[in-house]
Amino acid sequence: MIEYKKRTLANGLTIVVNRDKASKLAAVNILYKVGARNENPARTGFAHLFEHLMFRGTREIPNFDLPVQMACGDNNAFTNNDYTDFYITLPKDNIETALWLESDRMEGLDITPGKLEAEKRVVIEEFRQRYLNQPYGDQPMLLRALAYKVHPYRWATIGLTPDHIAGATLDDVQAFYRTHYHPSNAILSISADFDEERMLDLAEKWFAPLADRTVASQPIPREPDQEAPRREEVERDVPATTLSMAFHMSSRTSQDFYTADLVSDLLSGGDSSRLYKHLVQEQRLLASVNAYISGDIDPGLFVFTGQLLPGTAPEQAEAAFRAEIEALQSIPASDYEVEKVKNKFEANTLFGELNVMNKAMNLGFYEMLSDLPLVNGEVAAYRAVTTGDILAFSRRTFRPENCSTLIYKAKK
């Protein structure tokens, strides 16, 4: 149970705080509601580029990391398709250092031509190393492009092509900063051993003076229902062939999300899971196997993927996946099987709440979902999933016409 208090400032910034009496550290997390899905299709990769630029200093603080280190703290960030998150942990008595730094770079980022060119080179090199020059690097990008035709989830956080970053101008990135980095597009969440009202007041002290910017929100295009199966086969210089099957599923805020997450764990949650037992251990078709959900805010994907053993044809692997799907659609899962997965999730949730940064991050995330009470309600949501829900979800989701299949063949 994470107890919290919330305040919204006049400039639109939302602040959520939690008192953690067990920790000597403070966690300060700021979430900006901008990810890859908010990008122009002709200018992708900007959200991730800004994750880098936000550490390149402001007009007042040229070296962001130095004050954090002097306060005995640590900081980092990540970007995904839906949002960008920056976080700092430090001794609780130094909490104002974190608030000072974050409030300063919310409006005072110093983007110079030199800094921009340096970070462009870093991001382009990251694109090449992780996605173009690494075995299987472009596989998730190909699967996205196959499954999505309209929605911006069709590109990865890194972007569609390094050319978009290479062509980014100073005007482009300054416009992106003005559009997305301002108080009403951010959520500040804090967990520390301070009175909640004191934390709210400290946050207000540092962030209330910032002016908001009025920016017209751009609608996110809705992905149409997939009405026919899609297939793509590519050949790459990789050690083994892989097969991936992606099915469209519900959004993060749907009850179906919890059913889908449970199903993914039934299928591939460890050595006793269905796919590992049947396709790796018993039938010896695959060297490794996984089933996972993308977890996106907008309707996402449920993905089956496996690396084929040398003697296995892609058709055999696909047929084996189909057989497992048919079992999900026709035979109720056992109470023991379902309860084991539910217990695992509950244990992970409880252990996660011991970490001060996890609490701060979770508060920001659920506030972004516009359902802050859900931070304490997800265990109940998983507990509410029935075997009937699993059958209905599997029948509704794992339909041939809703499937995008990617065969990633190893060159002979």
pLDDT of residue 353: 87
Q: Which helix (H) or strand (E) holds 408?
A: strand 403-410
Q: Is the pLDDT of residue 214 over 90?
A: no
Q: Element (H or E) spanning 330, and its range?
A: helix 314-330
Name the band, by pLDDT with cuts 50, 70 and 90, for residue 307: very high
- Which pTM value belongs to this model? 0.95
Q: pLDDT confidence of 101, banded at 50, 70, 90?
A: very high
Q: What is the Cβ-side half-sphere exposure of residue 314, based on CA atoms within 13 angstroms?
A: 18
Residue 218's pLDDT band (boundaries 50, 70, 90)?
confident
Give me the pLDDT at residue 215, please.
87
pLDDT for 412 beyond 90? no
Residues with Cβ within 8 Å of 221's Cβ and at least 6 positions away in sequence, in order, are: 150, 151, 152
pLDDT at 336: 92
**pLDDT at residue 374 above 90?**
yes
* Helix 335-352, helix 387-397: angle, nearest 10: 90
pLDDT at residue 60 tops 90: yes
DSSP, residue by residue, 352-406: HTTSHHHHHHHHHHHHHTT-GGGGGTHHHHHHT--HHHHHHHHHHH--GGGEEEE
Supply the mean pLDDT for the chain. 96
Burial class of 398 by CB neighbour count within 10 A (0 to 12, 13 to 18, 19+): buried
Domains and CATH numbers, the chain: 4-208 (3.30.830.10), 230-410 (3.30.830.10)
What integer pLDDT is reported at residue 14 of this predicted model? 98
Tens digit of each residue's pLDDT (9 = 90 or more) over 335-354:
999 999 999 999 998 888 88
Query: Does 137 score more than 90 pLDDT?
Result: yes
Q: What span, in angstroms and rounded, lies between the C-alpha atoms of 288 and 307?
A: 5
In the prediction, which pLDDT does 352 show? Answer: 86
Phi, psi of 159 (to 5 degrees): 115, 175
Residue range 269-285: mean pLDDT, rounded: 94
% of the chain exceeding 90 in pLDDT:
95
> For 248-252, 269-273, 361-365, which range has the lowest pLDDT when averaged over its residues?
269-273
Q: Interhelix angle for 314-330 vs 255-268, to 10°?
A: 120
Q: What percent of the chain has pLDDT over 70?
A: 100
* Interatomic CA distance for residues 204 and 190, integer angstroms: 12
The DSSP annotation for 12-36 comes to: S-EEEEEE-TT-SEEEEEEEES--G
- In this prediction, residues 150-158 reach a mean pLDDT of 97
* C-alpha distances in Å from residue 323, one per residue of 159, 185, 303, 312, 338: 35, 46, 15, 16, 20
Split at pLDDT 50, 70, 90, the class of 216 is confident
Secondary structure E strands in 183-269: 186-192, 230-236, 242-248
- pLDDT band per the 50, 70, 90 thresholds, residue 270: confident
| Side chain identity, residue 370 | S
* 18: alpha, beta or left? (left if phi > 0; alpha if psi -120 to 50): beta
Reply yes or no on whether the pLDDT at 260 is more than 90. Answer: yes
**pLDDT digit string, tens, across residues 28-47:** 999 999 999 999 999 999 99
Residue range 294-306: mean pLDDT, rounded: 97
> In degrees, to the nearest 5, what angle opens at C-alpha 88 toward C-alphas 16 and 209?
55
